[in-house]
Chains A and B, each alone.
Chain A
Amino acid sequence: MKLKAFRYLGIITIGALVASCAAGVDDTGLEYAPQMYHSTPYEPLTQIQNEDAGSWLDSNEEDGHGEFYNSNPYNQFKMNMREPVANTVRRGQLLPVRLGKDDLEVAAATLANPFPAEDESVVKQGKVLYDSYCKHCHGEKGNGDGLVAEAYAGVANLNGAAYLEITEGHIFHVITYGKGLMGAHGSQVSPEDRWRIARYVKELQKKN
């Protein structure tokens, strides 16, 4: 009888242990094949700086750190991610415009949209991009009445008298570097996409 009771107790314990393998708050749960969850190559969006992490599972003693350690000692802050090398242009990308933040007037007067005016797909793509990057502040129709504008005073009404005559080059430059209260969006929106948005904004203004 006693033996039987122990057996049951054993089964309950194993059951409870296995049931506790699930992930939860601050707990990834039990990993199956943990070497597969912790990459040997530098992982872009994780970084484990603790050299002892995963030493219980170490498969390579020569590297001098645990299995889970994932940091690049040659980078600042041992970061795995790196910024692109300065003054380089990715293949297929438009060459950068060599104008600074304060060159708005030059940009407005000289920069021209590389997309042909008759290309209607540009406006369509521009709308998608506008809805992603601009709508929450400038509003669906550009009236400066997006939801964020309630919390962030000073969002420009793109249909206001001061903005109706701006050129696509002006819009491109403002997206790139920001203007007044608007932050620079050059890091988020690629140059091609900026031109698409600029074309769409001009279309938007015509509708009002």
Chain B
Amino acid sequence: MFKTTPKLTKIFLGLVLGIFVSTSLNAQEIPTDESVIAAGESTFKVNCATCHKIWEKRIGPALNGVTERREVEWLISWIKNSQAMIAAGDPIALELWEEYNQTVMTAYPSFSDDDVLAVLAYIQAETAKGPPVEEVAVTTAGEGGGDAISSSYLMAVIIILVVVLALAVVALIIAARTLVKHLKDVKGLDEAEQEIVSQEFNVAAFLKSNNFVGLVIFVFTIIVLKTLIDGAFTIGVQQGYQPTQPIAFSHEIHAGQYEIDCQYCHTGVNKSKSANIPSPNICMNCHTQVKTESEEIAKIYAAIDYDPETQTYGTDTKPIEWVRIHNLPDLAYFNHSQHVKVAGLECETCHGPIKEMEVVYQYSSLTMGWCINCHRETDVNTKGNEYYDKLVKLHSEQSKEPMKVEDIGGLECAKCHY
């Protein structure tokens, strides 16, 4: 009554086969092949590691055991385009979206299923290894040892020298005493020799002697004069000025440890007369995330009326009043861009070891002599700057020395005083 035509059978068989094949494809199993895991590791490190760690929550969740928490199909479509899943109203996707403050996970539509599976294989393999054993903190004291050793070595040498000298003095005194004792017993010395031998050292007479008083007065006058002259030269020179700033910003950490370029914050240094004190929005490029609990960072938050809890800005803002350190008197003109952009000077040339300064101080004297010295000694950076071509030509006709700043008017009064 029910005839199965060969055609229908074929279709039916085809369907069954199709379903079978497709399910075997869909129920993707995470490979455990080592080469696949290695490929997954490199993909993970390049694309995922900035936001995800295996055992630690970073920007996104910790990924250990994620292959057990979620379906493989869900993970594949999430990694390829998480926003589409959120838009489609997937319940797990929505929950994650809210839990992580609506942080958008970068979409990877270019990944093939195999790419994603390789990453999952790597995660699974790492999960199986278990959490990393916490490494015992290794003290880095050894690093700074070089200087300490050499200076303590120097101290030891000095101490040994002093001890040897003291011993030599004691030995000489003993020798002299013995000699005198011996000479007292010797007969046949004439009167003059007798006098020398029996001579006693009189401390009081020595202190009152003209020679001694003269020497003391001389030394004293020299010291006083030296102090006076040195002191007079510090008038108007603010070298060493190290004011307490409203926020304890450390150049040592930012410029030294993290090697953030000076120009990242002091943006005016290549373009203008002054190098700029950065506005708080530059601080906030990092400090929305970094050290948000710190008291010092809280001062920035207070100034810009930022609430780290809700990550929102209010309107009750007020300026941060940094204390100016370097202050040239109005009689002299200085321009940062000319020195940094055109001459190509390093910041440290004038500002000293700024990368080691916990609190910044004025390193250079900023006196006229200091400026002039540098203008006498420094070769003009003429490379790749057409402006100087004719000047260099003229200069080389007259002199074999390289062109210094003073040769192009670097000592003219009106260059800086006008």
Do the two chains belong together in a single complex?
A: yes
Task: Report whether B286 and A21 are in contact in the complex, using a CB–CB cutoff of 8 Å.
Answer: no
Given contacts A22-B234, A23-B234, A23-B239, contact A77 B319 (CB under 8 A): yes
Given contacts A37-B327, A47-B321, contact A29 B285 (CB under 8 A): no
Flag A172-208 by CB within 8 Å of B: 1 or 0 each: 0000001011111101110000000000000000000
B110 within 8 A of A: yes
Interface string of A89-125 (1 = CB under 8 A from B): 0000000000000000000000000000000000000
Alpha-carbon gap, A136 to B59, bound state (A): 19
Q: A29-B241, A162-B106, A188-B282 are in contact. Are A151 and B259 (CB under 8 A)?
A: no
Residues of A within 8 A of B11 (CB): none
A147-B259, A161-B46, A180-B103 given; A15·B228 CB < 8 A: yes
The reply to whether the CB of B74 lies closer than 8 angstroms to some CB of chain A is no
Residue B362 CB within 8 A of the other chain: yes
Q: Does A1 contact B (CB under 8 A)?
A: no
Q: How many residues of A contact B (CB 8 A)?
A: 66
A153 touches B244 (CB 8 A): no
Q: Would you list which residues of chain A between 126 and 144 have a CB under 8 Å from chain B?
A: 131-133, 135-136, 143-144
B244 CB contact (under 8 Å) in A26, A36, A143: A26
Closest CB of chain B to A74's CB: distance in Å? 15
- CB pair B290–A161 under 8 Å, yes or no, is no
User: Is there an interface contact between B231 and A19, defined as CB atoms closer than 8 Å?
Assistant: yes
Q: Classify the secondary structure of B's interface with A.
A: loop
A-B contact count (CB 8 A): 171
A161/B47 contact (C-beta < 8 A), A25-B242, A152-B290 known: yes
B:246-286 near A, CB below 8 Å: 257-261, 263-264, 267, 274, 277, 279, 281-282, 284-286
* CB <8 Å contact, A36 and B108: no
* Cross-chain contact B290 with A32 (CB below 8 angstroms): no
Distance (Å) between the CB of A143 and the closest chain B CB? Answer: 8
In the bound assembly, the distance between CA atoms of A162 and B327 in angstroms comes to: 48
B281 adjacent to A187 (CB under 8 Å):
yes
Given A44-B274, A147-B257, A147-B259, decide whether A132 and B236 contact each other with a Cβ distance below 8 A: no
